[in-house]
Amino acid sequence: LEVVSAPTERAAVYAMFVVVALEAALNFTVPLYIQIVQGRTPFDTSLAMMPFNITVFVTAMLVVRFYGRFSPRVIARFSFALTTGALIWLSFVVTNNWETVPTILGLIVFGIGQGALVTLVFNVLVTAAPKELAGDVGSVRGTTQNLASAVGTAFAGALLVTLLSIGVGQAVAGHVDLPEDLVAQVDLDNINFISNDRLEEILDATTASDVQVDAAVQINIDARLDALKIGLLTLAGLSAIAMVPASRLPNYRKDEIPDPSPHED
């Protein structure tokens, strides 16, 4: 517990938790749409995520070059501003095709902020702790990242499915081409993300006409996209809130780092 005894160290852990959770949520959302909604292969998912992953890797290595010019607080604020802006941008430009240039640009910007933050907050913990606590710093980092990854994935899944259920329910209730007797033949209490082909297979087992099938497919398309957009905006809000712990990170530069030996509150 001595590793996180100071406010700046706890702020670093909070910031690490948020950024890893956001990354996990985005890593859940993209494969969901590419593989389940679009019905494409895991290889297609890898190609779509490649710019993001490369950006995270490169940024995580290069961000240390800025430690001499900017304090951890400034870098963290700027990085969270990038992740927030990228998520907002994605919520407006994203379509059912993840390979558009604006979408890839948003993923790259998010990757810059995420890569910078992961390296930064870990270095803050290492710098603030005495050498004999280096192993404990690594343990705190691993535990925080594992927990954040699990929470981020679970949150994204629950959020998107909830938004999808609300969207489908509202659209079906107000659609003139989908009467109550047809809706009663479909389990709307167990809505999940499915492809249009899978939805057509389900409706084939009902009394739905071709016009009603087309209407249901269009509702599915619109509800999925709306769930994605609102989900990304929600993640952007969480990223913006993370500015609070980021504002409590150390404000010193590399040549001003205090001696961590007398580790006190």
Q: What is the pLDDT of residue 263?
A: 47
In the chain, what are the helix, strand and coil shares in percent, each to the nearest 5? 80, 0, 20
Q: What is the pLDDT of residue 140?
A: 79
Q: What is the pLDDT of residue 78?
A: 92
Per-residue tokens: 58: 């490169």
Give per-10-residue mean pLDDT for the chain (265 aa).
Answer: 69 87 90 76 82 89 84 89 93 74 88 89 72 70 88 93 87 75 70 81 81 84 88 93 86 56 47
pTM: 0.83
Phi-psi region of 39 (alpha: psi -120 to 50; beta: other; left: phi over 0): left
Q: What is the pLDDT of residue 131?
A: 65
Q: What is the pLDDT of residue 265?
A: 44
Q: What is the pLDDT of residue 98?
A: 60
Q: What is the pLDDT of residue 254?
A: 56
Per-residue tokens: 144: 């925080």
